[in-house]
């Protein structure tokens, strides 16, 4: 399986506290890496996917349902490909038929069990109601699209993990609780600092819903303390799986103008019009990681693994 990780456009309608782009922090990693001046057409995307033999596509930026050509894109590229979209949920109703017909998996960002918590974190009133309404409408369609909720753990909602899990369990919807959204120094920590997480409360919440999925899968209080209080050099793994998959030609991360980067929310800002498989700068940087370990700027996105 060859993965295409895609930031299909360059706009978002929310102002999420944990997001440097939503907070208009133009010097942070997400804003620098994701944002391009143009958006390529569905046909141009299809040409790229065919050339690179991409058969699995995850669209997760900036807000995919604001891509004006989304229905045409999905219809064009979905045959013989797995389509996975992450969205803030505001426009699900508008595109529910296309989602139902062409999307294999839809992750909807929900950051609490009630709207005052979610809307405060997401920065726009009504965002919880719109996302939940969209989820319910898709459920009513008996959609074959797998629906999951993506929950960004923050100091504002760390106490609400269990009740959010239980709420969506009643709807038969899985929740993925994410630790990694604002860890690195280059992320938007002007609003949230990882040290602001009460790991005692977090550990208790995790223990209260053991069958839930947490990412990364940190299972002890000690692991949580290391993750939130100490730099990524404390991690066991001294390699970046994102870079390894990129160099192996198994992962192509692209932004809206069609150029290639390492990871849509990564600490390493490398932009190229050509695939990065044989990029010397990337090869040299990977060799340095293997010798010295993950750099302090690493966002612990999906490569650092378990804690010491």
| Mean pLDDT (whole number) for 49-59 | 97
Closest by CA to 54, choosing from 252, 259, 262, 263, is: 252
The CATH number fitting domain 3-292, selected from 3.20.20.70, 3.40.50.720, 3.10.105.10, 2.60.120.380: 3.20.20.70
For the entire predicted model, the pTM comes to 0.92
Mean pLDDT score, 108-135? 96
Q: Both tokens of residue 110?
A: 């929900």
- Is residue 306 pLDDT above 70, yes or no? no
- Residue 181 pLDDT more than 90? no
Confidence check: pLDDT of 236 > 50? no
Q: How confident is the model at residue 242 (pLDDT cuts 50, 70, 90)?
A: confident
Contacts 24+ apart (CB under 8 A), 191-197: 191/17, 191/18, 191/23, 192/17, 192/18, 192/154, 192/155, 194/227, 194/228, 194/229, 195/228, 195/229, 196/155, 197/153, 197/154, 197/155, 197/158, 197/224, 197/228
pLDDT for position 308: 43
Question: 232 near 300, Cβ under 8 Å?
Answer: yes
The domain segmentation of the chain, as residue ranges, is 3-292
Q: Per-residue pLDDT tens for 270-296?
A: 889 999 998 888 898 888 888 877 766
């Amino acid at each position: 399986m060859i993965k295409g990780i895609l930031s299909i456009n360059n706009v978002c309608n929310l102002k999420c506290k944990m997001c440097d782009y939503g907070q208009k922090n133009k010097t942070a990693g997400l804003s620098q890496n994701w944002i391009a001046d143009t958006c390529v057409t569905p046909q141009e995307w299809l040409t790229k996917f065919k050339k690179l033999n991409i058969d699995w596509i995850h669209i997760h930026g900036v807000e995919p349902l604001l891509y004006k050509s989304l229905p045409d894109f999905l219809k064009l590229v979905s045959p013989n490909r797995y389509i996975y979209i992450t969205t803030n949920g505001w426009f699900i109703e508008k595109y529910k038929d296309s989602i139902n017909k062409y999307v294999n998996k839809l992750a909807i960002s929900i950051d609490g069990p009630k709207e005052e918590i979610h809307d405060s974190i997401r920065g726009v009133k009504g965002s919880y109601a719109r996302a939940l309404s969209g989820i319910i409408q898709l459920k009513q369609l008996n959609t074959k699209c797998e629906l999951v909720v993506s929950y960004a753990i923050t100091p504002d909602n760390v106490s609400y993990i269990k009740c959010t899990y239980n709420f969506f369990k009643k709807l038969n919807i899985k929740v993925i609780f994410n630790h990694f959204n604002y860890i690195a120094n280059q992320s938007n920590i002007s609003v949230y600092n990882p040290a602001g997480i009460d790991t005692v409360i977090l550990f208790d919440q995790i223990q209260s819903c053991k069958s839930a999925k947490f990412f990364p899968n940190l299972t002890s209080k000690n692991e949580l303390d290391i993750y939130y209080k100490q730099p990524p050099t404390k991690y066991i793994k001294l390699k970046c799986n994102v870079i390894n998959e990129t160099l192996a030609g198994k992962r192509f991360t692209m932004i809206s103008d069609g150029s290639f980067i390492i990871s849509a929310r990564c600490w390493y800002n490398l932009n190229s019009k050509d695939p990065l498989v044989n990029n010397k700068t990337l090869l040299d940087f990977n060799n340095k990681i293997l010798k010295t370990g993950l750099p302090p700027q690493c966002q612990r996105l999906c490569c650092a693994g378990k804690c010491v």
